[in-house]
Amino acid sequence: AQSVTQLGSHVSVSEGALVLLRCNYSSSVPPYLFWYVQYPNQGLQLLLKYTSAATLVKGINGFEAEFKKSETSFHLTKPSAHMSDAAEYFCAVSTNTGNQFYFGTGTSLTVIP
């Protein structure tokens, strides 16, 4: 079975500060991992995904995430937060044995000017 845990339902950072959103997964088979972002009053859109190629994945808007098998983690980072990054972020896991996706409970990011 697969599952995702996102530590911290709310994260606040100052504008220009490092953004770190945590995601840990559980999977009995090699996982595929995703980060989606949901801006206010908009649908979810893909930020980046890991599909067993490079462990450091770069996504849109300056975000990146690193797959660490030993830590079963896929944390999302951005060196310098912008006001426009304020949104809800969801981590998700899938596998090559099925097309079902398992989403975390989300982390709401607030950027303080």
Partner 1 sequence: GAGVSQSPSNKVTEKGKDVELRCDPISGHTALYWYRQSLGQGLEFLIYFQGNSAPDKSGLPSDRFSAERTGGSVSTLTIQRTQQEDSAVYLCASSQGLTAETQYFGPGTRLLVL
Residue 72 sits in the site that holds partner 1 (CB under 8 A): no
Residue 12 sits in the site that holds partner 1 (CB under 8 A): no
Residue 90 C-beta: closest distance to partner 1, Å: 7
Residue 28 sits in the site that holds partner 1 (CB under 8 A): no
Residue 80 sits in the site that holds partner 1 (CB under 8 A): no
As given in the structure block, the two tokens for residue 56 are 């450091």
CA–CA distances in Å: residue 105 to residues 4, 7, 25, 32, 72: 8, 9, 12, 18, 17
Q: Which stretch binds partner 1 (CB under 8 A): 19-27, 29-37, 55-63, 73-81?
A: 29-37
Pairwise CA distance, residues 113 & 100, whole Å = 39
